[in-house]
Amino acid sequence: MATAMHFFSDVRLRRVIRTLLERAGGKPAETAQVAGHPVDANLRGHDSHGVGMIPHCVHNVTHETMHPNTGLALVLRDGGAVMLFDGGPGFGRRVGAEMMERLIGRAREPGAVVAALARPRTYTARPAVPRPALT
């Protein structure tokens, strides 16, 4: 017997993911930021970071290894142009975006900065970087 294939628009998938993450305790602004990443990953062919990760994310929240509404934990090392951040228990997508904002500000001083994120949770790959901030 053939299995029926279902198709969903990216808009609908984002809405479903937001709803799941909000029911897991995330605030709307954070879930909007997090929900777009797995859909975009699938659309770009990066299925390892796609919507298939959402059950793992919800599992981590329900087992309290990931905490919604938690930002970047702390700076572990600050060597001027070299920094190390602790991702903490927050959604990696949010933590990664907060780290990038800090790095953009820091890079303006020496002209460049190198950083690492320790203990990140899901969705840390490819944080959104506002292009005008890099110029």
In a domain, 134, yes or no: no
CA distances in angstroms from 14 to 1, 47, 49, 114, 131, listed in the order given: 31, 15, 14, 32, 23
pLDDT of residue 122: 60
Range of the domain at 84: 74-126
| Pair (94, 58) in one structural domain | no
pLDDT of residue 129: 47
Question: Which residues in the chain show pLDDT less than 50?
Answer: 123-135
Q: Characterize the bridge pairing of strands 82-86 and 74-78.
A: antiparallel
**The whole model's pTM is what?**
0.77
Looking at the structure of the chain, the number of domains it has is 2
